[in-house]
Amino acid sequence: MGKLDGKVAFITGAGRGQGRSHAVKLASEGAGIIAVDICEDIPTVNYEMASAEDLAQTVKEVEAVGGSIVAVKADVRIKEQVRAALDQGLARFGQVDIVCANAGILPMNDRTLIEGFIDGMDVDFVGAHNTVAVVAPHLRSGASIIITGSCAGLMKNTTEAMGRTGGVGYSFAKRLIFQYVETLALQLAPHNIRLNAVHPTNVNTRLLQNDDIYRSFRPDLVAEGKTPTREDAEAAFPGMQPMPIPYLETSDVSALVTFLASEDSRYMTGQNLLLDAGSMLKGERAI
Ligand SMILES: NC(=O)c1ccc[n+]([C@@H]2O[C@H](COP(=O)([O-])OP(=O)(O)OC[C@H]3O[C@@H](n4cnc5c(N)ncnc54)[C@H](O)[C@@H]3O)[C@@H](O)[C@H]2O)c1
């Protein structure tokens, strides 16, 4: 008996990282999985997106825990693609009960004026809204929506201080999620449908492990004209959290997502939950 037996979860950004981890964990609790990922690079992002092979690996890992999964390539910026992906999942499972709007980017390559800001907003905020908008008509009493925000996004002087418009777009999108959850949860509550956000501190995924982030954690080396390495950044990562860790692992986030998806949290809604090892106690809140 799993906590999510008979339920179906729609998860965006499921090709790797947190999204894959959520897919495997929710499947291990009995949920059927509809997994979506762009499987294509975004030019304003300096690190690669998940590939079709990555999404296929998610399928393997879900099946390895005995789960059922439909995996579809779709871009959350484009509502029609999200709808087409959902339709494929509905054709297989006939229902959807859990939504993880998790896809996200940190776009630090402005090729044209404010292009990073636009992509950050389009994926990190509009993408989450598109996901909610497309799934909403299919949700029934007992459904749970979980949006992935960001603790760094809710703090001052983190991504928006990285010197590119995409960092500002990232923070702004995550701050909008905070208000989105509080606003929309009230509309959903009478239907017994819940909406919450999880705001993690740094998580050990590609969004963290890349040169843009290494530079932001080691401005001292950048000032010396050096290119910070992962090893250099690892030395600085623990400075973010009062608890003695460099970052969360994806399983830490999946544990909270599973709780929010399950009946264990059946009267929790409209919450912006910090999963941050104390980061927000230390940093300055922007919201
Ligand atoms: N890693 C961190 O430190 C951290 C901290 C706080 C919040 N977050 C948030 O966690 C979420 C998951 O990121 P992650 O840490 O697993 O990083 P990740 O880069 O490993 O995963 C993000 C996934 O989203 C997919 N994706 C990107 N744009 C997409 C689009 N337009 N349509 C569909 N899929 C798309 C990518 O291909 C990738 O598989 C994001 O919303 C991110 O902002 C990450």
Q: Mean pLDDT, to the nearest integer, of 176-201?
A: 98
Closest-CA residue, ligand 1 atom 8, reads: 150
Q: What are phi and psi of 36, to 5 degrees?
A: -125, 140
Instruction: Find the 207 Cα to ligand 1 centroid distance in Å.
Output: 6
User: Given pLDDT bands bounded at 50, 70 and 90, which one contains residue 246?
Assistant: very high
- Which has the closest alpha carbon to 131: 141, 118, 145, 117? 145
Q: Given CATH 3.40.50.720, say whether it is the number of domain 8-206+249-278.
A: yes
Q: What is the pLDDT of residue 127?
A: 99
Q: Let me know if 214 is a catalytic residue.
A: no
Sorting pLDDT into bands at 50, 70 and 90, what band is 28?
A: very high
Q: Residue 227 has what pLDDT?
A: 97
Spacing, Cα 39 to ligand 1 middle (Å): 12
Q: Are 202 and 208 in contact (CB under 8 A)?
A: yes
**Other beta carbons within 10 Å of 255:** 14
Residues 6+ apart with CB under 8 A from 177: 124, 125, 128, 147, 149, 153, 197, 272
pLDDT, one tens digit per residue, over 258-267 is 999 999 999 9
Reference 149, options 134, 128, 118; nearest CA is 128
- What's the pLDDT score for residue 179? 98
Task: Judge contact between 265 and 36, C-beta under 8 A.
Answer: no
Once rounded to an integer, what is the mean pLDDT over residues 132-156?
A: 98
Ligand 1, atom 41, lies closest to the CA of: 104
CATH 3.40.50.720 domain span(s) along the chain: 8-206+249-278
